[in-house]
Amino acid sequence: MILGIDEVGRGAWAGPLVVGAVVLGCDIDGLTDSKALSKKRREQLYDQIIAGAAGAATGWVSAREIDDIGLAAALRLASRRAVREIQKQHTSFHEIIIDGTVNFLHETPLGEFAATMKKADLLVPAVSAASIVAKVQRDRYMAAQADVYRDHKFSAHVGYGTAAHRAAIARHGVTPLHRLSIAPLRRYADSSAVAPTDEPAQKPPRPTTRTIGDASESAAAAELLRRGHEIVERNWRTKQCEIDIISKKAGAYYFCEVKHRRSDQSGDGLAAITPKKLQQMRRAAALYTHFNNLEDCDLHLLAIATAGETPVVGEVVVVGG
């Protein structure tokens, strides 16, 4: 079988570079280059790929890593990470086809088995599927980041250099998601993240507990998306209990408690997962599964720790055995 590889986000100004890797092993109608599909159709095909493919995975390289090692090295790193995830699934393949003209697996043990092909995302179903998986996961991640960095509206342009994105940078500066090594943003690398403006400076509103909590949960949801989860619910609650995030991956449901600290020096947020809190999480998960007829599903409890004024995920831990 063929392992198809394609990347998404190479030309973006912000956000991660994502490489998709798929071994199909099944027939799925309508596969083509992800950019030629509507968002609705991509999502439909994505669900079919995840459910039916012999193996599907992504490799991610952050904006910070791209700035540190350069885009060419980032493409190689993301490809290796994606293939490593496929290998963890014990999925067999006899050939690798990479979209484009550069063998990103060169100088790796699999490099000799990889071939490059122009427009492979149009011609080879496994590569088309890889393109779709990478595109959907990256778009979902950027949409979640839009809740954290509201002024930049990442869900609209997913990090690419559109006119609206350029205007947002000019007005609000750059974020930790921006790639400061690319030419249009290089001037921000050694300066304040806030861009100059002709308008009088205004003191930003003080973040409230609620806004920090929302941003923390958005950062946690984005991390789950990056790990291949589907977000099923956020802030599900009854009179007796609530769950911050409910996600799904490979048929299993995950019930997530997000704990935030303003700084790393404030202590570990996961320390707040006491035996009493764990009992509450189990009760909430039991109620949710009962209401939604999920008693026979594989269930897990997760604790996600975030820290900082702009919340960043520190740890994601399965709790409760």
Q: Which residue has the tokens 């790639």?
A: 179
Q: What is the pLDDT of residues 215-229, one digit of tens each?
A: 788 888 888 888 888
For residues 198 and 217, membership in a common domain is answered with: no
pLDDT digits (tens, 9 = 90+) for 260-297: 887 655 455 567 788 888 899 999 999 999 888 887 88
Plot region of 197 (φ>0 → left; ψ -120 to 50 → alpha; else → beta): beta
pTM of the model as a whole: 0.71
Shared-domain flag, residues 240 and 304: yes
Q: What is the CATH number of the domain that holds 310?
A: 3.40.1350.10
Q: Are 56 and 129 in contact (CB under 8 A)?
A: yes
6, 52: one domain: yes
Q: Is the pLDDT of residue 194 over 80?
A: no
Backbone phi and psi for residue 17, each to the nearest 5 degrees, phi listed first: -90, 130
pLDDT of residue 144: 86
pLDDT at 195 over 60: no
Q: Would the pLDDT of 201 be above 50? A: no
Distance of CA 153 to the CA centre of its chain: 16
Write the pLDDT tens digit of every residue in 122-159.
999 999 999 999 999 999 889 888 888 889 999 999 99
Which residues are CB-contacts of 229 (< 8 A; sequence separation ≥ 6)?
247, 248, 249, 254
Q: Which of 171, 204, 237 is the last residue of a domain?
A: 204
Q: Is 222 exposed, middle or buried (0-12, 13-18, 19+ CB in 10 A)?
A: buried
